[in-house]
Amino acid sequence: MGVDPGLTRCGIGIVEASNGRRVQMVAVDVARTKPEMAPHYRLLLISEAIEEAIARHQPDVLAVERVFAQENVRSVTGTAQVAGIVMLAAAKAGLPLGMHTPSEVKAAVTGNGRAEKNQVQLMVQRILRLDAPPRPKDAADALAIAICHAWRGGALHMDSVDRAQHGGAGMLPRAEGADLTPAQRIWAGAERISRRHGAVEPKERQS
């Protein structure tokens, strides 16, 4: 189950992965809240939607976008609050937790860590063999996060502390080695690019 955290729109996508790289969509939804609502009630609505999705679909793992940004502090604060709710929901359900940067997710589904939103939507459509690109973009992003985690084989489960998952120094993924696949090298490069810039593009959503 992948979650694209956002306070106005929170994407929730569930995929089923089989042997190899074959994945299929199980469900997708977007939890929405109104900006005029009190923040704690907005968080409650999103929390309830996430917990309902977990109860309904019984995922094996929960994956969420790792949040950090230089600009639009108000927006990223709300996004980080929702990411915290996702982490708590995983703990309450006893699920492993995966966290992936937007660059990692883009690299996983498109091969380009700097891909545009529409490219991600189109590739998610192609990978999941859908009749149309998932909309809104939050839905496509949630499915992309789930696909990314499935293809990484759960390598970033957060059952132990990993400072890199929280923006800490060091512990970047290894970028070289004969045992790395081309996709793993792309992910490692995307992670280094995002960490070097210290940010990702601001969320195009209200907070």
4 has catalytic annotation:
yes
Give the amino acid at 164.
A
**pTM more than 0.85:** no
Does 182 fall in a domain? no
- Could you confirm whether 159 is annotated as catalytic? no
Residue 198 domain flag? no
Find tokens 């106005």 and name the residue.
Answer: 8
Residue 163 domain-assigned? no
65 is in an annotated binding site: yes
Number of domains making up the chain: 1
Is residue 192 in some structural domain? no
Tell whether 97 is covered by a domain. Answer: yes
CATH number, domain containing residue 9: 3.30.420.10
What residue numbers bound the domain in which 37 lies?
A: 2-157
Report residue 16 as tokens. 């089923």
Parallel, antiparallel, or unpaired: how do β-strands 23-32 and 62-65 relate? unpaired
Q: Does residue 178 sit within a domain?
A: no
Residue 60 is assigned to a ligand binding site? no
Within-domain flag for 174: no
Each of the 207 residues of the chain gets a pLDDT tens digit; together they read 999 999 999 999 999 998 767 899 999 999 999 999 999 999 999 999 999 999 999 999 999 998 865 556 677 889 999 999 999 999 999 999 999 999 999 999 999 999 999 999 999 999 999 999 999 999 999 999 999 999 886 544 455 444 444 443 334 555 566 655 565 566 566 656 655 544 444 444 443
Tell me whether residue 51 is annotated as binding: no
- Judge whether 179 lies within some domain: no
